[in-house]
Structure 1
Amino acid sequence: MSNTNTLKNISGSIVLAGAGKMGGAMLSGWLAQGIEPKRVAVIEPRPSEEIRAHIAKGVRLNPSPQDTGPAAAFLVALKPQAFREAGPKLKPYVDATTLLVSIMAGMTIASLHEVLGGRIVRAMPNTPAAIGRGITVAVAAKDVSAAQREVADGLLRATGSVEWVTDEGLMDAVTAVSGSGPAYVFLLAEELARAGVAAGLPEQLAIKLARETVAGSGELLHRSDLEAATLRQNVTSPGGTTAAALEVLMGQDGLQSLMTDAVAAATRRSKELAK
């Protein structure tokens, strides 16, 4: 069954709690896949103009639990720090058999069950979901049925690809690699531009070169069947300019050690958010 058919065949309402950047991307993806706007309800005290545009087309804003009717799924896209405070207000939308999908960093299945209950899928998307190029990793609680997992997969796949794991303990590292990962790539573009200026390039030219190089290289990586290491080697001529730069980046205190430390720090913080 295609993802479009999966979403169109979902029976009942879909409730989205939190319509910020990630929640809004999810909503846009669902509507683009053919879900009727009137079947979606959004709980959001400060809806953006983009969300208001969806509301104008039929998406319901801040309905009561009685108004939403039987929910096929309840997706939580709040900031983790705000979740426990919002929990009592969200609880009436969820019963023991509701599919609850969380995309909050660090929030464990046990914590979600304590606050809201339901049958829980914990997921971690990333910001390229906004253009349909996200990657989401998901793990399901043991009481999630095969049909509910298919619904969750359809909802998450509306913004990109989805990978499923069975060990929830992997989710903190997932958050550190792919959830936070886009920021690392954007930082690379920032610093490459700064280095270009330091080497004598006009600022706007350096920014343009860095931005297009990172974006184009990412697209090449996306389209190629080759490993990243092979693509890197293909650019690197022995004794050439790239090799000289890579001697620095791949040195003892270079990118490998920095990235290992960065991912470890993000993993620790993800675990702290669950406490």
Structure 2
Amino acid sequence: MAIRLVLAGCGNMGYAMLSGWIGSGKLAAADVFVVEPNEDLRARAAALGCHVGAGAADIAAGAAPELVVVAVKPQVIRDAVSAYTRFADGRTTFLSVAAGTPVATFREILGARAPIARCMPNTPAAIGKGMMVVFSTPLVPAPTRGFIADLLSASGEVATIDDEGLMDAVTAVSGSGPAYVFHFIECLTAAAEKAGLPVATAKLLAMQTVFGAASLATESREEPAVLRRQVTSPNGTTAAALEVLMGGDRLKTLMTEAVEAARLRSIELGR
């Protein structure tokens, strides 16, 4: 049994990534061993055709995976990763998708020879629309970096950073960012209801407008500022609304403060 990838943890994020890898053809199910103590979660990985086990000890003694993906909750990282020290001989790269856990933690557990990478995904990755940002230590081989990027692309867009310290900013922008957008939709819906629209219509208008605008910004060759100006007629309705949002840099200041609060909390949680 030749195992190319071990997935440690098959909860919501782990399973979403696994489904994307296999569904896109980027990885064959037979090349994956999923370690998941929960029987129900383990069963759904088995249903995809993967090898499964309740613990790392179930992986064949001679296995030498190219990649171990750690997709467990941050609070159990130390116990979970310590079960994989037999793969810390330099041949296997460890990729963590656990928020707030620095490379230093993995080095403490695995030693200095293990190649380590960190990824910050966000929740839209579950539907293939995510944003994944990767930091890799110098020990991660170039082919494995390419393998990681290719796998993650099944879940959305992939970017890389060279400074692990920037991962706190990444967490604050794209990691936490979906919640900001969800709240914006909530607020726009509430404003639409207050303006007299029925509840269902208000919700539809808010969600579809955010979806359509984000899609246009993604697919257009124009900068968002240009698109904003294109829809804003002088002295028109949009201009009146933007005067409220942009006057005194109100929204920019609020978003800057929000991202900074999230970044500082990310630093605090990573200590």
TM-score in terms of structure 2 length: 0.89
Question: What aligned pairs does 1:71-86 form with structure 2 within 5 A after superposition?
Answer: 71-86=65-80
Correspondence 1:154 to 2:150: yes
Q: Secondary structure at the residue paired with 1:137?
A: strand
Using the alignment, how far apart are the partners of 1:267 and 1:53 within structure 2?
Answer: 35
C-alpha contact (below 8 Å) 2:66/2:91 kept by paired residues: no
Which consecutive unaligned segments of at least 5 residues does structure 2 have? none
> For residues 217 and 48 of structure 1, what CA distance do their matches in structure 2 show?
39
* 1:37 partnered with 2:29: yes
Deviations 1:32-53 (A, max 9, x none): 132221221222233666x634
Assess, with a 3 A threshold, how the Cα gap between structure 1 residues 267 and 146 changes in structure 2: closer, same or farther: same
For 2:14 and 2:182, the matched residues in 1 are separated by: 21
CA distance in 1 between counterparts of 2:240 and 2:135 reads: 43
Give 1:156's aligned amino acid.
Answer: L
Aligned residues of 1:16 and 1:43 also touching (Cα < 8 A) = yes
Is 1:167 the counterpart of 2:158? The answer is no
Cα distance 1:136–1:146, how it changes in 2: closer, same or farther (>3 A)? Answer: same
Say if 1:74 and 1:101, in contact at 8 Å, map to a contact too. Answer: yes
C-alpha RMSD of the superposition: 2.1
CA contact (8 A) 1:37 1:54 kept: no
Aligned to 1:97: 91
Could you say what secondary structure the match of 1:251 adopts? helix
Report the alpha carbon displacement of residue 94 of structure 1 after superposing the two structures with TM: 4.3
Aligned partner of 1:107 in structure 2 is 101
3-state DSSP of counterpart to 1:211: helix
Q: Distance in 2 between matches of 1:133 and 1:245?
A: 29
Q: Following TM superposition, by how much is the alpha carbon of 1:253 offset from its aligned partner in structure 2, in angstroms?
A: 6.7
2:196 counterpart SS class: coil
Tell whether the 8 Å contact from 1:17 to 1:42 is kept in structure 2 after alignment: yes
Q: What SS does the corresponding residue of 2:98 show, helix, strand or coil?
A: coil
Compare relative contact order (CA 8 Å, sep 6+) and give the higher one, 1 or 2: 1
Structure 1's 21 and 47: CA in aligned 2 closer, same or farther, altered over 3 A?
Answer: farther
* SS of 1:250 mapped into structure 2: helix
Residue 103 of structure 1 and its aligned partner are, at CA, apart by 1.4
Q: C-alpha separation between the residues in 2 aligned to 1:270 and 1:228?
A: 28
Give, as a single letter, the amino acid of the residue that structure 2 aligns with 1:116. Answer: L
Q: Within 1, Cα distance between the matches of 2:206 and 2:40? A: 31
CA contact (8 A) 1:139 1:164 kept: yes
Cα separation, 2, equivalents of 1:201 and 1:47: 47
Contact 1:19 1:47 in 2 (8 A): no
Question: Which residue is 2:4 aligned to?
Answer: 13
Q: 1:198 to 1:91 in 2, by over 3 A?
A: farther
The code of the aligned residue for 1:82 comes to V
Partner of 1:5: none
Which residue does the alignment assign to 1:26?
17
Q: 1:55 to 1:12 in 2, by over 3 A?
A: closer
Q: What CA distance in whole angstroms lies between the structure 2 residues aligned with 1:197 and 1:77?
A: 40
Amino acid aligned to 2:74: P
Q: 2:59 aligns to what?
A: 67
Which AA in structure 2 matches 1:197? E
Map 1:174-193 to 2 at 5 A: 174-193=170-189
Rounded to whole Å, the distance in 1 between the matches of 2:241 and 2:110 is 51
CA distance 1:129–1:136, change in 2 (3 Å): same
Which moves more between the two structures, 190-199 or 131-140?
Answer: 131-140
Q: Distance in 2 between matches of 1:76 and 1:125?
A: 13
- For structure 1, which runs of at least 5 residues remain unmatched after alignment? 1-10
Q: Which amino acid aligns with 2:154?
A: A
Aligned to 1:57: 48
* Structure 2 partner of 1:242: 238
Tell me which amino acid in the other structure corresponds to 2:73.
K
Residue 31 of structure 1 and its aligned partner are, at CA, apart by: 0.3
Alignment of 1:191-270 (within 5 A): 191-252=187-248, 254-270=250-266
